[in-house]
A and B are shown apart, each in its own frame.
Chain A
Amino acid sequence: MSVTTEGMKAKELLAYYQAKADQDARDAKARGDLVCWSASVAPPEFCVTMGIAMVYPETHAAGIGAKKGALDMLEVADRKGYSIDCCSYGRVNMGYMELLKEQAITGKTPEVLANSPAAKVPLPDLVITCNNICNTLLKWYENLAVELDIPCIVIDVPFNHTMPIPEYAKSYIADQFRNAISQLEVICGRPFDYKKFQEVREQTQRSVYQWNRIAKMSHYKPSPLNCFDLFNYMALIVACRSLDYAEITFKKFADELEENLKAGVYAFKGAEKTRVTWEGIAVWPYLGHTFKSLKALGTIMTGSAYPGLWDLSYDAHDESLHSMAEAYTRIYINTCLENKVNVLLNIVNNGQCDGIVYHLNRSCKLMSFLNVETAEIIKEKTGLPYVQFDGDQTDPRNFAPAQFDTRVQALAEMMEANMAE
């Protein structure tokens, strides 16, 4: 660890490394090195092996949303013809990209860009996408590639309509990994470094291990961890899992949580009345509001499947790459309803939850259109109450704080009534 980070708390490390990742990308660009924009759960192992700096548009868009800068970007996308039905992460990013492009062409920084609270990231020289969380990421990255006239690496992980994942699916994905390697060799003009690749995979596994350590802390009752924190720390499991940035930060955070647990220091100072699972993405522009509303009710979030998307454990020594292929395709929203429900059920049970909050996300069809069925099955299996609210992860126009408050209040009442029984 470098000297500067010594003695830093996990929270400080998070801020430090998040900023550093963006700085790395800017530095790479300034040096004339390659920058890649990547889908959040696309495998970074290949690009990182090649020393390519990575930028993650979803995380970037989430940051813009949290800093209340989404509307400006959405407006640019709107002018370019993007319908409000398209995922708002994608629209924020296309808006941002168009502004960067304008800047690159004219040499002038558009005013909206200059005034944006967005973290400054450079334009990509290539993009990599993977559809393990949605096919929207295929459409979005097609557009990036065409509008910037740059190569696009696609890792297609076919929807697993039948579980377990068949061998032929893993073979197909592993073949794409090998294809991505040869694409990168052409793009970079040098051979792929397999030794480094081994190290990067091992690093990724160490990051994932520490990430999972954190997630498990919400299993305790009372919980030392409020899972809202995972929404914040997620930035690093997305953007830096193949670097030690993520490992260092997560280890520190997990250690802190363990110490807290031993010392009897809990997230709500032990005053948690009820525990919920949050299904879906956070509402970034209203992260504070949603957190506070729940907290005011004494409701702590001890389950969330979304951060679990990055539980990308695999055998880093498996040269067939089938294990890695499996890790990237088994994401619960890339599987049949039955498996999806089982994954969520585990989260509800492990988090010792009393109820579930479903985010009906206007942006995200894949994470919304099975809410009714999922909720009904889980209710049947656990008897736990649930509510659903209308929202959007980055378009602030699609979330109504009052509706959210009413819904979670109703849930709190149902949970308390259940417990009183």
Chain B
Amino acid sequence: MSKVETILKQFADVAANPKKAMDDYTAETGKGAVGILPYYAPEELVHATGYLPMGIWGGNKSISKARTYLPAFACSIMQQVMELQCEGAYDDLKAVIISVPCDTLKCLSQKWKGTSPVIVFTHPQNRGLEAANQFLVQEYKILKTKLEKILGVTITNADIEASIKVYNENRAIMREFVKVAADYPQVIDPIARHAVFKARMFMEKSKHTALVKELLEEIKAMPIEPWTGKKVIVTGILAEPNGLLEIFKEFGLAIVDDDLAQESRQIRVDVLDGEEGPLYRLAKVWQNMYGCSLATDTKKVRGKMLMNKVAQTDADAVIVAMMKFCDPEEWDYPVYYRQFEEKGIKSLMIEVDQEAQSFEQIKTRIQSFVENM
């Protein structure tokens, strides 16, 4: 196995087995983990406690227990999260943090079936205003106090600043990773690319950064080779399970950039330096966020952003990975779709169902899409 392969396998292993990642972390540090539901929790505050922030983004279960609590028209990811809750899969977490930027999450935040304490906070949506930053600072203050109480720790400003630094470094290296992955699709296929992003949710970030750095050094020493397949940008909440990404691989689609909530949206905005305290600067991240269906934007720059990505990466098309029953994403679609049509940008919408085991229909659609490109 080459060094690159070895590192990629490490990422894949963590991505495939978050429970082990958590147990290892606990064994090593004597501390446990805190669950972070989508979207945009100030993870730095958890990192500052020394506990491991663990992303909660569903799984690949067949849904049965969740049926009691959620109708069939709830999004696929929250069906998964509910199923896992009912199974007690999250009960080892010391706490769970839930933000509520969509109607589904507002409800989910009120019906956690696991045993861990739940901390809910609300993002302000009139994001242009200074008053929104002030509001979010108060929410973060309360979140911080609750974390301190539950974990029995004190979070100092110095701790937060240190974590901010760790996170900014991680975001920067991941942005570089996205570029390198685009240049070396022969080395980083869609599944490997996803694994690097996914492992990010279960690894302490400075460790993740170090491993990504190692990976990039190895790859960058290789020659860039021309890509004979097509290049695409993927947008949506997430592109899982791996069976879905297999199809990309099979038909020679390289993911040259993404706008997935689980991937690049996480690393889009840094915590800026400044005179203000860390909570305020963390709050500003939300104000500076853009191009996401969950961050209200009356100008809707998402379509433009995606078209810029297409131009920058010379992509052939945008693949819309539409989370089943996700209405915020579904509301964005008609607008950017129209913009794509007007500008002659090719796009294909495929449905993401985390429960899926077979992908024949998507396969046929991707195949004919690629053939017509």
List chain A positions with a Cβ less than 8 A from chain B: 80-83, 85-87, 90, 94, 131, 134-136, 138-143, 145-147, 151-152, 154-156, 158-162, 166, 168-169, 171-172, 175-176, 179, 336-337, 340, 360, 362, 364-366, 368-370, 372-373
- Contact between B300 and A143, CB atoms less than 8 A apart: yes
Q: How far, in angstroms, from A233 to B111 measured CA to CA in the complex?
A: 34
List 29 interface pairs A-B (beta carbons < 8 Å), by A numbering: A80-B334, A82-B331, A82-B334, A85-B326, A85-B330, A86-B331, A87-B327, A94-B334, A135-B102, A135-B125, A135-B328, A139-B332, A145-B299, A146-B299, A146-B335, A155-B126, A156-B132, A158-B123, A158-B125, A168-B138, A171-B134, A171-B135, A337-B110, A365-B74, A366-B106, A369-B74, A370-B111, A373-B69, A373-B111
Cβ–Cβ < 8 Å partners of B330 in chain A? 82-83, 85-86
Cβ–Cβ < 8 Å partners of A373 in chain B? 69, 110-111
Say whether B71 faces chain A, with CB atoms less than 8 Å apart.
yes
Say whether B293 faces chain A, with CB atoms less than 8 Å apart.
yes
**In the complex, what residue of chain A is closest to B119 when comparing beta carbons?**
A161
Which chain B residues in 99-120 approach chain A with CB under 8 Å?
100-104, 106-111, 120
Say whether B296 faces chain A, with CB atoms less than 8 Å apart.
yes
20 further interface pairs, Cβ-Cβ under 8 Å (given A158-B125, A161-B122):
A81-B334, A82-B331, A86-B327, A134-B103, A139-B332, A141-B298, A143-B334, A146-B335, A147-B335, A152-B298, A154-B126, A158-B123, A158-B124, A161-B120, A166-B138, A176-B129, A336-B110, A337-B111, A369-B70, A372-B111
- Contact between B331 and A360, CB atoms less than 8 A apart: no
Q: Which 10 A-B pairs have the closest CB atoms?
A: A369-B107, A139-B331, A175-B131, A81-B334, A337-B110, A172-B135, A161-B120, A152-B298, A158-B122, A156-B125
**A-B contact count, CB below 8 Å?**
150
Nearest Cβ in chain B — how far from A330, in angstroms? 14
Cβ–Cβ < 8 Å partners of A179 in chain B? 126, 129, 131
Q: How far, in angstroms, from A365 to B109 measured CA to CA in the complex?
A: 13
Say whether B297 faces chain A, with CB atoms less than 8 Å apart.
yes
Nearest Cβ in chain A — how far from B30, in angstroms? 31
Cβ–Cβ < 8 Å partners of A366 in chain B? 103, 106-107
- Contact between A80 and B338, CB atoms less than 8 A apart: yes
Nearest Cβ in chain B — how far from A165, in angstroms? 12
**In the complex, what residue of chain A is closest to B118 when comparing beta carbons?**
A161
- Contact between A146 and B125, CB atoms less than 8 A apart: no
- Contact between B298 and A154, CB atoms less than 8 A apart: yes
Q: How far, in angstroms, from A138 to B73 measured CA to CA in the complex?
A: 20
Cβ–Cβ < 8 Å partners of B142 in chain A? 162
Cβ–Cβ < 8 Å partners of B25 in chain A? none
Say whether B325 faces chain A, with CB atoms less than 8 Å apart.
yes
Which of A94, A136, A156, A362 makes the CB contact (< 8 A) with B126?
A: A156
Which of A139, A151, A360, A372 makes the CB contact (< 8 A) with B327?
A: A139
Nearest Cβ in chain B — how far from A104, in angstroms? 17
Q: How far, in angstroms, from A90 to B334 measured CA to CA in the complex?
A: 13
**In the complex, what residue of chain B is closest to A360 when comparing beta carbons?**
B71
**In the complex, what residue of chain B is closest to A368 when comparing beta carbons?**
B71
- Contact between A136 and B327, CB atoms less than 8 A apart: yes
Q: How far, in angstroms, from A279 to B332 measured CA to CA in the complex?
A: 30
- Contact between A172 and B124, CB atoms less than 8 A apart: yes
Say whether B337 faces chain A, with CB atoms less than 8 Å apart.
yes
**In the complex, what residue of chain A is closest to B294 when comparing beta carbons?**
A135
Q: How far, in angstroms, from A143 to B338 measured CA to CA in the complex?
A: 12
- Contact between A169 and B293, CB atoms less than 8 A apart: no
Nearest Cβ in chain A — how far from B191, in angstroms? 28
- Contact between A156 and B69, CB atoms less than 8 A apart: no
Cβ–Cβ < 8 Å partners of A94 in chain B? 334
Asked if A135 meets B298 with Cβ closer than 8 Å, knowing A154-B125, A161-B121, the reply is no
Q: How far, in angstroms, from A155 to B296 measured CA to CA in the complex?
A: 11
Cβ–Cβ < 8 Å partners of B110 in chain A? 161, 336-337, 340, 370, 373
Say whether B333 faces chain A, with CB atoms less than 8 Å apart.
yes
Q: How far, in angstroms, from A161 to B69 measured CA to CA in the complex?
A: 20
- Interface code B260-303, partner A: CB below 8 Å = 1, 0 otherwise? 00000000000000000000000000000000010011111000
Asked if A158 meets B135 with Cβ closer than 8 Å, knowing A337-B110, A366-B107, the reply is yes
Cβ–Cβ < 8 Å partners of B68 in chain A? 372
**In the complex, what residue of chain A is closest to B68 when comparing beta carbons?**
A372
Q: How far, in angstroms, from A364 to B103 measured CA to CA in the complex?
A: 9
- Contact between A365 and B124, CB atoms less than 8 A apart: no
Cβ–Cβ < 8 Å partners of A143 in chain B? 300, 331, 334-335
**In the complex, what residue of chain B is closest to A371 when comparing beta carbons?**
B71
Cβ–Cβ < 8 Å partners of B139 in chain A? 158
**In the complex, what residue of chain A is closest to B127 when comparing beta carbons?**
A156
- Contact between B126 and A176, CB atoms less than 8 A apart: yes
- Contact between B126 and A365, CB atoms less than 8 A apart: no
From A90, A140, A161, name the one whose CB has the most chain B CB atoms within 10 angstroms.
A161
**In the complex, what residue of chain B is closest to A90 when comparing beta carbons?**
B331
Nearest Cβ in chain A — how far from B287, in angstroms? 13
Q: How far, in angstroms, from A131 to B102 measured CA to CA in the complex?
A: 10
- Contact between B334 and A139, CB atoms less than 8 A apart: no
- Contact between A136 and B331, CB atoms less than 8 A apart: yes
**In the complex, what residue of chain B is closest to A370 when comparing beta carbons?**
B107
Asked if A135 meets B135 with Cβ closer than 8 Å, knowing A337-B110, A370-B110, A370-B111, the reply is no
From B68, B124, B135, B338, name the one whose CB has the most chain A CB atoms within 10 angstroms.
B135
- Interface code B132-149, partner A: CB below 8 Å = 1, 0 otherwise? 101100110010000000
Nearest Cβ in chain B — how far from A197, in angstroms? 20
Nearest Cβ in chain A — how far from B139, in angstroms? 8
Which chain B residues in 62-86 approach chain A with CB under 8 Å?
68-71, 73-74
Q: How far, in angstroms, from A362 to B39 measured CA to CA in the complex?
A: 24
Cβ–Cβ < 8 Å partners of A160 in chain B? 122
Nearest Cβ in chain B — how far from A105, in angstroms? 14
- Contact between A142 and B300, CB atoms less than 8 A apart: yes
Nearest Cβ in chain A — how far from B347, in angstroms? 11
Cβ–Cβ < 8 Å partners of B334 in chain A? 80-82, 94, 143
Cβ–Cβ < 8 Å partners of B325 in chain A? 85
